[in-house]
Amino acid sequence: MPTKYGYESKKWNDRGKERWRIRVGTKSNGTAEYLPCKDEAHAKREQKKLLAKQAGDDVLGLEAIKTANQHGIAACVGKLAVVGATIEDATEWFLRTRFPAKGNCTATEAGNAYLAAKARANLGQVTRESYAEKIGVFMNYFGDTPVNEIKTEHLEKYFGEIGKAWSNNTMNPWKRFTVTFFNWLQDNEYIALPHGAKNAAEKMTIPKRDLHTPKIASWEEVHDMLYWYDRKANSVGGYKKGNVFGCMVYLVFCLFVGIRKSEAFQITWDDIDFEARTVSILVEGAKTNRRRVNDLPDNVWEWLAYLKQNGAKLNSAGDAQRRLIYRQRDYRESFTKRNASVPDIVGVELKLTRSGKTEPKEKYHNIMRHSFCGYHLKLHESAGKTALVMGNSEKKVRSDYHEVVKHRQDAEMYFNILPPETIARDENEDEVVTLGEAVKAKLLCDRLQPHIHTNETHCKAFQIAWAKVQEFPDYDAVCKASEWRELNVVYDADGDPVANEVDLN
């Protein structure tokens, strides 16, 4: 029987005749099911029988529950008696705290419950921080508002206020996270809705991301920035020298190993295996909460050896991030002070924050990681290999970074950016210089020439590179071949065009 009935007898008229009946249930087709009676007395006798049977069924049901759970109930009663509580007290408390949707669960209570649940999950540090940021903004806005009373129009107003200066690429993940959050609230009964019904967040309008090609830095920008840091470190001296060289370690990892800044800031010298030439990205710092061990390209190996020799300091994450932000601003201002164009790799633009203030933010977010991915994919022609190093999916690497770097020579020059003392160690080599090697040396000379009068190390590196250029028998051919970036034409030793690309190895 689907529900309890009072089994009240009712009189009805059947084609002019008085009849009595008692409703006893509902048929499969949804219509009422009745027990026909001869008269009122008969109906009352049947009502007594039905009520007696219903009471008997209830007693049998309770006895069954007692028998099945008697040991558990007895244990609970004993534990509650110690603190002077009853099973009814415990039941009330459980329903009020575990299922606050049946009470008055506020946005703050719901947000804290979600963060507590995620704290017990196996999530990476970056993911946990992202959840905490988004939930924190939600709680600050809605505060003591019961989550059951938050409607779609309230959420749209919320995003209209906190995201008034956001692009679609920022709004999309924030709204999608809110849908995930509200689904969790619904699944855990913090929101009372019929099964299968859409919650307020699911009814929001979510803008599609604006698809665009990732911005990458030119190899010249990267070379100039690293050599500026090198000059800065040698000019400041003392403990600051080690700090600046430490910043360069983080840059090298982002630029040439594809590590996220948040991951790079967690790395210490103990995580770098100089014998195996690998670096371990620990679970605590990894966005995906998976430990990765990346091989170090030759130029990274050279940079790390150079920087460690010069006393590079790798300290705590907070200090590392703060120092790098300061030095990046210092580098950017070195252009603005002389009214020169700021390179994209450190470019910023004013953006509105959620508080309504205008602050300078990265113009091209993650440009260093994007640069690594584009150059690495072009150099190796393997999305799988690049994805493995970056900790990304192969599909994303292929779709986002295919042909963002047009020429293989750019990729070769990118991963051929070496520290000054490595270039100097080639001084005594007695080998025949190829056209590709001479071109590389010529391009490096072009980058170093503005600084040879102010920095002894860079002056020596320039001299070694220039000597290699002069060792090649045809200087005019080197100059023509070094123009491939603009002309996309390659010349042989005799100065004749030979192909559309040059092998610089």
What is the rounded distance in angstroms from the CA atom of residue 262 to the CA atom of residue 317? 8
DSSP SS3 for 281: strand
Task: Give the rounded percent of residues in the chain with a pLDDT score beyond 90.
Answer: 26
CB 317 within 8 A of CB 151: no
Task: Encode burial over 158-180: b for 16+ CB neighbours within 10 A, e otherwise.
Answer: bbeebbeebeeeebbebbebbbe
Confidence band, pLDDT 50/70/90 cuts, at residue 491: very low
Phi, psi of 181 (to 5 degrees): -60, -50
Cα four-point dihedral sign 145, 146, 151, 156: positive
DSSP 364-398: STTHHHHHHHHHHHHHH--HHHHHHHHTS-HHHHH
Q: How confident is the model at residue 150 (pLDDT cuts 50, 70, 90)?
A: very high
> How high is the pLDDT of residue 423?
62
> What's residue 138's pLDDT?
94
pLDDT in tens, 221-245: 999 999 999 999 999 878 899 999 9
Query: What would the pLDDT profile of 448-485 be if each residue is shown by its tens digit?
Result: 888 888 888 888 888 888 988 988 888 888 888 877 55
Q: Band the pLDDT of 364: cuts 50, 70, 90.
A: confident
pLDDT of residue 289: 46
Amino acid type, 179: V
Written out in words, the top-level CATH class of the domain with range 100-203 is mainly alpha
Determine the 3-state secondary structure of 449 from DSSP: helix
Q: What per-residue confidence (pLDDT) applies to 222?
A: 94
- Is residue 202 within 8 Å of residue 187, measured between CB atoms? no
**For position 480, what pLDDT does the model report?**
83
pLDDT band with cut points at 50, 70 and 90 for residue 316 = low
User: What is the predicted pLDDT for the residue at 96?
Assistant: 56
Q: DSSP letters along 125-138, please?
A: HHHHHHHHHHHHHH
- pLDDT of 248 reads 95
Is residue 249 within 8 Å of residue 307, measured between CB atoms?
yes
The per-residue pLDDT for 505 is 42
Rounded Cα–Cα distance for residues 124 and 122 (Å): 7
Residue 99 — pLDDT band, cuts 50, 70, 90? low
**pLDDT value at position 493?**
45
Least confident of 33-37, 170-174, 330-334, 498-502: 498-502
Report which of 435, 412, 426 is spatially closest to residue 491, judged by C-alpha positions: 435
Which of 1.10.443.10, 1.10.630.10, 1.10.10.10, 1.10.3720.10 is the CATH number of 219-410?
1.10.443.10
Task: Give domain limits for the chain.
Answer: 1-96, 100-203, 219-410, 420-499
Query: What would the pLDDT profile of 172-224 be if each residue is shown by its tens digit?
Result: 999 999 999 999 988 888 887 766 788 999 999 999 877 677 889 999 999 99
Please write the tens of the pLDDT for every residue from 402-436: 888 988 888 989 998 999 887 655 444 556 888 88
Sort residue 195 into left (φ over 0), alpha (ψ -120 to 50) or beta: beta
For residue 177, the model assigns a pLDDT of: 94
Label residue 68 by pLDDT band (50, 70, 90). Answer: low
pTM for the model stands at: 0.60
Q: Which residue has the higher pLDDT, 203 or 91?
A: 203
Q: Which residues contact 112 (CB under 8 A, 6 or more apart)?
A: 139
Distance CA 482, CA 469 (A): 11
Transcribe 320-362 into DSSP letters.
HHHHHHHHHHHHHHHHHTTTPPPPGGG-EEEEE-TTS-EEEEE
Secondary structure (H, E, C), 208-259:
CCCCCCCCCCCHHHHHHHHHHHHHHHHHHCHHHHHHHHHHHHHHHHHHHCCC
93: confidence class by pLDDT, cuts 50, 70, 90: low
Q: What is the mean pLDDT of the chain?
A: 80
CB 265 within 8 A of CB 250: yes
What are residue 272's phi and psi, to 5 degrees?
A: -105, 120
Q: What is the mean pLDDT of residues 57-84?
A: 68
Residue 191: phi and psi, rounded to 5, are -120, 125
SS3 31: coil
**Confidence grade of residue 60 (pLDDT, cut at 50, 70, 90):** low
User: Residue 88: what pLDDT?
Assistant: 75
